[in-house]
């Protein structure tokens, strides 16, 4: 939402609903705007890729995890639904990006690991994603640390 549209919308809600606390509207709109901008920044990285940014979010923690991890633990660490993680992992397994192996400590679950092909894809795409983000975030200059601190506070409020 552009700044002018955001301001007009907030003012309209405030005028029509004087008892309603609209203070969150600006912050939520800005978070959504930044989230969408970050998504657009990496669109080019994933355009010709076998993976999506959502796939990469699951795969990056697996890249240097030598012990392997379960789907449940991965979902918990990433704050994602178990069903969504399971569905994504099944799709990635069918594309030979991950594999599951027997969990000797808990026979009811499997350990998830990257295949060699999966490692290659992650090693190619994730640094490109980081460079795309870094190019945009460099525009913050000296404010970057303050923005990071503010976002950490916001993230903590949701935990």
**Mean local confidence (pLDDT), 121-129:** 96
1 pLDDT higher than 80? no
List the domain boundaries for the chain.
1-41, 45-157
Q: Which of 65-69, 71-75, 119-123 has the lowest mean pLDDT?
A: 65-69
CB 89 within 8 A of CB 58: yes
CB 137 within 8 A of CB 144: yes
63 pLDDT higher than 80? yes
Average pLDDT, the chain: 92
- pLDDT above 90 as % of the chain: 77
Rounded Cα gap, residues 32 and 9, in angstroms: 15
Residue 2 is predicted with a pLDDT of: 66
Topology of domain 45-157, CATH: Arc Repressor Mutant, subunit A (1.10.10)
* Structure confidence at residue 124 as a pLDDT band (50, 70, 90): very high
**C-alpha pair distances (Å), 52 with each of 100, 112, 129, 138:** 20, 18, 11, 24
- pLDDT above 70 as % of the chain: 99
């Amino acid at each position: 939402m552009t700044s002018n549209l955001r301001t007009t919308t907030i003012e309209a809600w405030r005028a029509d609903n004087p008892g309603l606390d609209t203070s969150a509207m600006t912050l939520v709109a800005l978070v959504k705007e930044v989230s969408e901008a970050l998504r657009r920044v990496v669109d080019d990285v994933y355009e010709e890729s076998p993976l999506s940014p959502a796939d990469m979010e699951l795969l990056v923690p697996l890249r240097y995890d030598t012990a392997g991890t379960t789907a449940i633990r991965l979902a918990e660490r990433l704050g994602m639904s178990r069903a969504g993680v399971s569905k994504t992992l099944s799709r990635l397994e069918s594309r030979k990006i991950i594999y599951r192996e027997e969990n000797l400590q808990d026979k009811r679950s499997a350990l998830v690991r990257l295949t060699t092909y999966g490692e290659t894809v992650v090693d190619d795409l994730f640094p490109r994603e980081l460079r795309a983000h870094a190019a945009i975030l460099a525009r913050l200059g000296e404010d970057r640390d303050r923005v990071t601190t503010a976002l950490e506070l916001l993230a903590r409020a949701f935990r």
